[in-house]
A and B are shown apart, each in its own frame.
Chain A
């Protein structure tokens, strides 16, 4: 019986997240459209509301092309690795008090592990496509993920120190008595590093080098089409949501808000995640793209030292108060 309930919960979460992915693309196109003095999708349904569904059907029925020179098993596996890793990390996210599939004690580490695993998908896709553009995209992704994973990990160590736990639910609860009920102010340096690393980790502008369309055509997914491409796309958006959730949980106080909402506890959590997603989109509409070596410079010479400084400061603070 317990298993059936868990399965239903998983299914509900999966459906909800997929719906969010579909409509995140819609809102991205709408928001960027309005920022760029155009309308965005308008044709399918009222104000283009059915556009994501039309896109889904289109990519599902498209011809599945695997290039002749590609390494077939790896080529097929790569998008699946991405998607599975991203979906798995959803399991440990607490959406509200007790609203979590797997309340494990190493939640934060688990998320890191999964997001690193997803980058294998990208690297393998670049490798297996047997195209030089894909290959370069894969290489860039590898370098980017390695450097920014470190910065991101370090930026969250401060949060771990303050909360004294790796369990995501407990991190949220620990924030209750800090200023505004969130770690944003005591950990502002950490949040800065985390936010930039988050953009890099999810391959978003201004760090979208692995798929920089004006340089590498489409980067690691140049040779992908139809549903396989759509899977990469989904993985990217779920990645955005997971990162937004981590930001919300670790810095913005998770599901805690100015007042409790009895009938829908995750309301504040969802709103904060939407805020993050909007920031992702806003930044995409505004900023140009970094160059590969400048990205490395930023990661190693600015973010990692900053994260270390933050770590030392937090430790001192904790030692003085505690």
Chain B
């Protein structure tokens, strides 16, 4: 006893140097958005060292894709960023189309642009909801879910699913839009800007919100580039980089929209950027609806697995050869082009890239996914260092990460 007291007394404590301790935040924690674990080294409440740990939601999608035909691997992409599954589907389809040199009809391109932007709205709404909840503004959470519900209902009207859609197909989309869908969407577009204003009245000029977000989690443009940030996180730092504008795909070159840019690179700038993006999304969807051309929704050279258009005919032909329809799809041994390709799209979280190596079979030899969430989580260590625990939570929210996408 005396020895330990003596030890304590003799232990030299340098001037201005506190005692550090470690805190493991997550994987089960209310504010880590799923199963992110952050190992913190704290001095009081100031973060000395922050080490994000990922992998709790790893399901091996990249490996699983190697055992599936290109058409079948589509459903895996639903489960990447499950908040905006439609955007992943489109990204995947675009990559495969580019690899296999398949054309997409114009109507399908417009429909894809619409659903992409709808999923951007759905994703940004969920981001705003949880981000505000993390900072303590509880009511915004439920307001956002009210509008997100309309979007999910619209998706259900479109393809029958609310979360994991698998709606876009390689070479087009699965079903055509109905008039009911178009009418409902139009109604939603009409009311939505006023709803954005409603969220903004609650937090935009709120002094506490400003105190928590302005000047916190600052990333300069250069830093953001070197950390590999994309999407709104990069644009909030003033770097003009939006794949929809600079490498247009689908119908993005046919519509007019602005790329909202921030300058400060703090949490508030990221917040403003995403809020502006929602306005732009509404603009894009409106233009797509107005311009929506008639015509087929799937290209003539699309690979098999088209439901329900070709399904019945396919089943008949296959059953005479193999017994059932699905077997035909799995045994699809068409020779595709050999080579490799990287195709990136602008999903709500940032730049989602699919990298394929094809050996000429019907399955990818290798599929790699460049997921924005994974890279953003990596940036967390640099951003959160030296700030407080409460800021870490705000930063995680503002980087808008989804663990399903990060861990794949």
* Residue B203 at the chain A interface, CB threshold 8 Å: yes
A121-133 interface code vs B (CB 8 A; 1 in, 0 out): 0000000000011
Question: Quick one: closest A residue to B32, CB to CB?
Answer: A214
With contact pairs A136-B45, A214-B136, A217-B30 given, residues A288 and B143 touching in the complex (Cβ less than 8 Å): no
Q: How far is the CA of A106 from the CA of B332 in the complex (A)?
A: 89
A36 touches B31 (CB 8 A): no
Within 8 A of A (CB), among B1-57: 21, 23, 29-31, 45
Q: How far is the CA of A288 from the CA of B207 in the complex (A)?
A: 9
Taking CB atoms, residues of chain A closer than 8 Å to B142 are 36-38
B388 touches A292 (CB 8 A): yes
Which of B183-191, B208-216, B252-260, B333-341 forms contacts with chain A? Answer: B208-216
Question: Quick one: closest A residue to B209, CB to CB?
Answer: A288
* Residue A286 at the chain B interface, CB threshold 8 Å: yes
B208 touches A290 (CB 8 A): yes
* Residue B152 at the chain A interface, CB threshold 8 Å: no
Task: Please give the number of chain A residues whose Cβ is less than 8 angstroms from any Cβ of chain B in the complex.
Answer: 29
A32-62 interface code vs B (CB 8 A; 1 in, 0 out): 1001111000000000000000000000000
Which of A205-213, A254-262, A310-318 forms contacts with chain B? Answer: A205-213
Q: Which of A32, A284, A288 contacts B135 (CB 8 A)?
A: A288
Q: How far is the CA of A287 from the CA of B391 in the complex (A)?
A: 17
* Residue B393 at the chain A interface, CB threshold 8 Å: yes
B178-209 interface code vs A (CB 8 A; 1 in, 0 out): 00000000000000000000000011001011
A291-303 interface code vs B (CB 8 A; 1 in, 0 out): 1111000000000
B137 touches A287 (CB 8 A): yes
| Cβ distance A250 to chain B, nearest Cβ, rounded Å | 26
* Residue A64 at the chain B interface, CB threshold 8 Å: no
With contact pairs A37-B146, A287-B208 given, residues A208 and B136 touching in the complex (Cβ less than 8 Å): yes
B260-286 interface code vs A (CB 8 A; 1 in, 0 out): 000000000000000000000000000
* Residue A97 at the chain B interface, CB threshold 8 Å: no
Taking CB atoms, residues of chain A closer than 8 Å to B388 are 291-293
* Residue B357 at the chain A interface, CB threshold 8 Å: no
Within 8 A of B (CB), among A263-305: 284-294
A-B residue pairs, 6 tightest by C-beta = A289-B136, A214-B31, A36-B142, A288-B136, A288-B137, A288-B135
User: Assuming A36-B138, A285-B139, A291-B211, what are 20 further A-B pairs, CB within 8 angstroms?
Assistant: A32-B139, A36-B143, A132-B23, A133-B23, A212-B136, A214-B393, A215-B389, A215-B390, A217-B30, A284-B138, A287-B206, A287-B208, A288-B206, A288-B208, A288-B209, A289-B136, A289-B390, A290-B208, A290-B212, A291-B388
